[in-house]
Amino acid sequence: MSNFLGMLRQLVQKGNLKAILASGEQAMLGDGTGELVVLRTADEAAEKAILLDPGLKFGEMYVEGRLVVEQGTIFDVIALMKANGLEKAATAGNVTTALLHVAGQQIRAHLPVNRNRHNIAHHYDLDGRLFDLFLDPDWQYSCAYFDPPGIGLDEAQLAKKRHIAAKLLPEPGQTVLEVGSGWGGMAMYLAESSGVDVTGITLSEEQLRVSVGRAEKRGLSGRVRFELQDYRKMENRRFDRIVSVGMFEHVGMANYRGFFAKMAHLLAPDGVMVLHYIGQAEKPWATNPWIEKYIFPGGYMPALSEVMPAIEKAGLAVRDVEVLPMHYAHTLRAWRERFTARREEAIRLYDERFFRMWEFYLAASETAFLYDRLRIFQIQLSRADGAVPYTRNYIAEREAALRAFEKTRPPLEPVEF
């Protein structure tokens, strides 16, 4: 029996997996429960690579077509592995490799080199038609809010904007800074729903171009503006409200004190900030090496324990923390199903290898929220005690008012790219 098959036997104690090795050897693994998943390796070199460095090479071999799912999907494979507890697959060799990945990410994170612009472009400056394959009409590329449960993705993304806007407590005439403004959807929602003046900053040239065009088309250029700007370089400006959704994961573990110090500097004395980000239940030390290399270079999803000291050091006070454990799993499932349903379009945009890379990314991310204790954290911050009401009743009250606004809001035009 090969070492690779031995690793699989050690790992897969439950479920229903048929493994077909490059040598022709076959094995049924698990306890036979659930739908059958069939996994085949194309060559022995792929098996050895996965054995020595599963965190990186499992995804690479799938993308290269050397790890083939003959029955089921790559999501089914990853979910089965994680349901069994991937840590049981560790051997002395790949433990060492995993530690090297952690050490490498820690070193890169603390080097005095600013690669934020490059890292953001790597992912967000891709062809806009790619994102149009699976996002909602407003191109919200962050966790949706499935309230009430069972609603569809489009409605859940609207609910996310509504929920964050309610916590932000915007008032007509106030100024708002959005750090990481995406394709402009949140900024336009805030301006139209609350009568505020919004400045959105991004490091993605493609997102900037799309955002500016969308605001102009809706006649919002006077109240919504977007800038290609690094938050660290903003000076001599104050905002009544600051919101950041899905950007903090790109700040980097060495930069939390600087980030919150800058937010405190930019926030008015009686201002309010809402931070929405992906984090983990305990300190992770490093991002999955495949995700870090191919999808989000420089990305890191911190535990609350890593974030809170930096908030306190900056002189900001936590007014509210909400933990959303499963909403991103539902979001990612909807994205994955939409993306795979338009497989041929994705291949025409790039190629089959790219399709498998993004299929793997969406599947692995979904399983991370299902099995790896990833969370969405929404943290509400202020400097003044009276900036936020002392009970949470206002959130539901403001959401009700925003729902009434949404019924009168003109429909969103298709994003042009």
- Is 211 a residue whose pLDDT tops 90? yes
How large is the average pLDDT for residues 136-154?
97
**Torsion angles phi and psi, residue 404, rounded to 5:** -65, -40
117-408 classified as CATH 3.40.30.10: no
Structure tokens at 313: 């050091």
C-alpha dihedral (327, 329, 333, 335), degrees to nearest 10: 70
Quick check: 52 pLDDT over 80? Answer: yes
Rounded to 5, what percent of the chain is helix, strand, coil?
A: 50, 20, 35
Query: Rounded CA gap, 193 and 200, in Å?
Result: 16
Whether 251 shows a pLDDT value over 50: the answer reads yes
Residues in the chain: 417
119 pLDDT band, cuts 50/70/90, is low
Q: For residue 17, what pLDDT is reported?
A: 97
DSSP letters spanning 79-98:
HHHHHH-GGGG--HHHHHHH
Q: Is the pLDDT assigned to residue 93 strictly greater than 60?
A: no
Query: How many angstroms separate the CA atoms of 131 and 152, rounded?
Result: 18
Domain ranges in the chain? Answer: 3-90, 117-408
- Of the pLDDT bands very low, low, confident and very high (cuts 50, 70, 90), residue 47 is very high
What is the predicted pLDDT for the residue at 126? 85
What pLDDT, in 10s, does the model give residues 390-407? 999 999 999 999 999 999
366-388 pLDDT per residue, tens: 999 999 989 999 999 999 999 99
* Position 209 pLDDT exceeds 70: yes
Upstream peptide bond of 148 is cis (omega within 30 degrees of 0): yes
